[in-house]
Structure 1
């Protein structure tokens, strides 16, 4: 795995598209902070895992289409404008968003996605997707 922040983020998005739970989690630092702004942040890989695994295991296909990518002047932050398209047996959820990743030693230390959370929640409801229910 490359430690270059841009490569880390691209690899992370690719791991999502491959529905590769272990690889997705391997990109996260143990003390990662993950937030879907304005929802409160998740602290640590265990909290992030509880949120991410249901998505990765219930989806039949995930597309993280990177529309624009920029690396900050400091070099350790990567900004992505994305369209995350999540395919489930009952429907498709499109989430246009802006994501900011801070990478340290080849791992994602901070990950914040900015999206219209109410529109995303409605899209999940419209597709009859309940990520809290067991399989």
Structure 2
């Protein structure tokens, strides 16, 4: 396991990253991604590479009127960050849907190189 200072940094990095979602600007997320990032929204195909992940989020942001992500609980073990999150998503003219999510991040050199999201997609659709 890495030293405690690294764990604190990884904790801070992910919290800062999550705060950016409210800006709905996918280019602001890019510096947090390792060039070889692999993103998987459980049940969907993996998205590989920084540009592809940024493009994915640009599409989400363009479809949503509001995006508000927050951390409920977060645990750090070296390069691994496990976060229980509340993803607030609102389609145009609709209320903010509170979607619970579990995210697993692996960081390398201060950037997210692996990111897996676990959400009950069926339930999320009923909220939106």
Q: Which category describes the TM-score, using the shorter chain as reference length?
A: 0.7 to 0.9
State the distance in 1 between where 2:104 and 2:64 align: 23
Hey, what does 1:100 align to over in structure 2? 104
3-state SS in 1 of match to 2:44: coil
1:74-124 superposed Cα distances (whole Å, 9 cap, x missing partner): x1111100110012313233321110111111111011011112223x24x
Which residue of the other structure, out of 103, 111, 121, is the alignment partner of 2:115? 111
Q: CA deviation at 1:49?
A: 2.2
SS of residue matched to 1:5: helix
After TM superposition, the score normalised by the length of structure 2 is: 0.83
Unaligned runs of 5+ in 2: 1-5
CA RMSD, Structure 1 to Structure 2 (Å): 1.8
Structure 1: tracts of 5 or more residues without a match: 128-135
Partner of 1:76: 79
* CA-to-aligned-CA distance 1:40-81 (integer Å, 9 cap, x gap): 211111221231101223333221121101002xx1111100
Q: Which has the higher helix share?
A: 2
Matches of 1:114 and 1:66 in 2, distance apart?
14
Q: Displaced runs of 4+ in structure 1, greater than 3 A?
A: none
Task: Count how many residue pairs are aligned between Structure 1 and Structure 2.
Answer: 120
